[in-house]
Amino acid sequence: MVAKYTHQANSPLLKGLAHHKEAMIHSLLRLWHTPLSTWITLAAIAIALSLPASLHLFLKNLKSLTDDKREVPTISLFIKQGVSEKQARDQAELLRELSEIDKVVLIPKDVALKDFRKITGFAEAIETLDENPLPHVLVVTPHLKLLGDPENDMKRLARKLESYSEVDIVQMDIEWVQRLRGILRITERVILIISILLGMTVLLVIGNTIRLNIENRKEEIEVSKLIGATTAYIRRPFLYTGIWYGLFGGIISLVLVHLALMFLVTPVNELAVLYGSNFTINGLGIKNTLYILLVSSLLGLIGAWLAVGKHLRNA
Amino acid sequence: MIEFKAVSKQYPTGQLALYNVNVRLQQGEMAFLTGQSGAGKSTLLKLIALLEHISDGEIFVAGQNIQQIKKSKIPGFRRNIGMIFQDHHLLDDRTVFENIALPLKIEGMRPQDIRRRVRAALDKVNLLRKEKEYPMMLSAGEKQRVGIARAVVNKPSIILADEPTGNLDPDLAQDIMHTFKQFNEYGSTVLIASHDHNLIKEMKKRIIVLRKVIK
């Protein structure tokens, strides 16, 4: 048999590993030796990836505003006129016993009037009134951890509080949260669409770069086939090139996103202070960083696979 | 070792390159394939290496009908054949060493074994000093010898050469032929397509003449 003349030095596993090692190193060296085209491609990939990454980060931070315990929506209970401060305080004590409620703060009507004077500047007009028209207010902070569906459970709690005889009006401060959540849901979908479109762009950029690589190395491919290279052997270095493009593009995009973040931290913190919030910008975190690198490498692999597959089918 | 049984080859363009070819080469034999331009010499070599497929007949290599070799097994089959071309088919961006090492890398050999085998092949074609040079820096004869070294580095059982001395002066051509003779003496079956009748006669080996198909 012809096969008896073959000289295989290694086991199939070692042979496979040697091929992978060769393809990895060779593809890296090729990128290194063509710095200009490599950097242009990497820049295009990085920009395309940094946009969805930044939007994701923006959304993540926006969500933290609504999810954060500090920003838990509250329910304001306006106590009926004629109820004394002591009775209102007793009511607050009673409410604190409820498991759904985390905190109850009493704003006595005198304090409320003082604040009203200070904020509105209607001090003189208020002086003309015989008695304080403002009621005592109980600001109730629900225990969000005990609520399954915050939106519905908040409404249920509000109905329960309404049933107390001392309570005149119940006002939920949840509307802004609901609106924000609605906006976030739309934003989330917009970001998903943008991410898919830009992901496809990365796929096309890498696919086209690999296609050009194949064109430049047509002779090498032909010679390799003539001397017995398998399809996998021919395909492998191109696949690694795609992975490198995706991975390095992903790394550069992360650098860009973090640079932008550093640029924004100070003004955002200053704005948060003005709003009396201790909100700070969150970074991508290890999980999201690894996720971006994995996705970008996968996009590189798929782009390269499609380009090489097309060439090998046509060859 | 190699047997053609009533082999015909017609290209998709309609051109009939070979018609009813019957030929047999013994293991370890060296033979020359000659004939007019267009007689089908290159086609016959390509058929053996499965670079082309026959239209009719059967080809056996080492007792195996090569038309029955699965597509996935063709690269492995080709690794047992050393092919040499008139235009060398060397990679210009790789050194002489790297060009010759290519079949061994495809084979998945360890670097130390590759180094040893490549140097041995370079020694056989008297190019040890040129291992770090690029093909562009070599003469036509040297390029051809690099092509031969690459074809034999894997110790193939069959060596096929298509007009290996086509562009060389007579002295160099003779050198190359003697190199083939050496490899034949090591045990390889050698089939060389050439139209250099004087050179072929000098080698005193079997000559297979192909006649152009007129239809």
For residue B214, give how far its alpha carbon lies from the nearest alpha carbon of chain A (Å): 30
Does residue A138 sit in the same domain as residue A215? no
Does residue A193 sit in the same domain as residue A300? yes
Does residue A195 sit in the same domain as residue A300? yes
| Model ipTM value | 0.83
Query: Do the domain assignments include residue A2?
Result: no
Task: Encode B86-111: b = buried (16+ Cβ within 10 Å), e = exposed.
Answer: bebbbbeebbbbbbbbbbbbbbbbee
Q: With contact defined as beta carbons under 8 Å apart, do A105 and A138 qualify?
A: yes
**Cα gap B95→B77, rounded to integer Å:** 26
**Average pLDDT of the segment spanning B21-34:** 93
Say what the pLDDT of residue B212 is: 78
Q: Which residues contact B127 (CB under 8 A, 6 or more apart)?
A: B96, B142, B145, B146, B149
Does residue A24 sit in the same domain as residue A90? no
Higher-scoring residue by pLDDT: B2, A181: B2
Residues of the domain holding B98: 91-153
Does residue A202 sit in the same domain as residue A275? yes
Does residue A128 sit in the same domain as residue A228? no
At residue B197, does pLDDT exceed 60?
yes
Query: Do the domain assignments include residue B130?
Result: yes
For residue A1, give how far its alpha carbon lies from the nearest alpha carbon of chain B (Å): 5
Kindly report whether the global pTM for this prediction surpasses the value 0.80: no
User: Under an 8 A CB cutoff, do B102 and A226 touch?
Assistant: no
- The total domain count for chain A is 2
Query: Do the domain assignments include residue A10?
Result: no
Identify the domain boundary among A121, A156, A173: A173
For residue B205, give how far its alpha carbon lies from the nearest alpha carbon of chain A (Å): 23
Does residue A183 sit in the same domain as residue A161? no
Query: Do the domain assignments include residue B191?
Result: no
| Mutant choice from B107, B109, B190 vs A, greatest count of A C-beta within 10 A | B107
- pLDDT tens, position by position, A194-242: 999 999 999 999 999 999 999 988 888 989 988 889 999 999 999 999 9
Tokens describing residue A290: 């690894």
Say what the pLDDT of residue B140 is: 86
- pLDDT tens, position by position, A59-109: 888 777 665 544 567 888 999 988 899 999 999 998 998 888 888 999 998
- The total domain count for chain B is 1
Query: Do the domain assignments include residue A150?
Result: yes
Q: With contact defined as beta carbons under 8 Å apart, do A37 and A191 qualify?
A: no
Does residue A88 sit in the same domain as residue A166? yes
User: Under an 8 A CB cutoff, do B63 and A16 touch?
Assistant: no
Q: Which residues of B touch A23 (CB under 8 A)?
A: none
| Mutant choice from A1, A2, A233 vs B, greatest count of B C-beta within 10 A | A2
Query: Do the domain assignments include residue B121?
Result: yes
pLDDT band of residue B193 (cuts 50, 70, 90) is very high
Does residue A234 sit in the same domain as residue A310? yes
Q: With contact defined as beta carbons under 8 Å apart, do A8 and A19 qualify?
A: no
Does residue A297 sit in the same domain as residue A183? yes
Query: Do the domain assignments include residue A222?
Result: yes
DSSP for A83-140, written as a single string: --HHHHHHHHHHHHTSTTEEEEEEE-HHHHHHHHHHHH--HHHHHT-SS--PPPEEEE
User: Under an 8 A CB cutoff, do B75 and A226 touch?
Assistant: no
Query: Do the domain assignments include residue A134?
Result: yes
Give the residue among A112, A111, A167, A180 at the shortest CA–CA distance from A140.
Answer: A167
Of B78, B109, B113, nearest to A227 by CB-CB distance is B78
Query: Do the domain assignments include residue A58?
Result: yes
Residues of B engaging A, defined by a Cβ cutoff of 8 Å: 49, 51, 61-64, 72, 75-81, 83, 89-91, 102-103, 105-110, 113, 150-151, 154-158
Of A16, A18, A226, nearest to B83 by CB-CB distance is A226
Number of CB atoms found within 10 A of residue A246's CB: 29
Query: Do the domain assignments include residue A3?
Result: no
Say what the pLDDT of residue A119 is: 66
Find the closest chain B residue to A3 by CA distance. Answer: B80
Q: Which residues of A touch B106 (CB under 8 A)?
A: 224, 227-230, 233
Of B61, B102, B108, nearest to A15 by CB-CB distance is B108
At residue B47, does pLDDT exceed 80?
yes
Q: Which residues contact B189 (CB under 8 A, 6 or more apart)?
A: B1, B2, B25, B26, B27, B28, B29, B30, B157, B158, B159
User: Under an 8 A CB cutoff, do B150 and A227 touch?
Assistant: yes
Q: Which residues of B touch A7 (CB under 8 A)?
A: 107, 109, 154-155
Identify the domain boundary among A158, A173, A188: A173
Say what the pLDDT of residue A9 is: 47
Q: What CATH number does residue A106 fall under?
A: 3.30.70.3040
Residues of the domain holding A249: 15-68+179-314
Does residue A110 sit in the same domain as residue A151? yes
Higher-scoring residue by pLDDT: A278, A148: A278
Query: Do the domain assignments include residue A115?
Result: yes
Query: Do the domain assignments include residue B135?
Result: yes
Q: What is the mean pLDDT of chain A?
A: 85
**Average pLDDT of the segment spanning B132-159:** 91
Does residue A81 sit in the same domain as residue A189? no
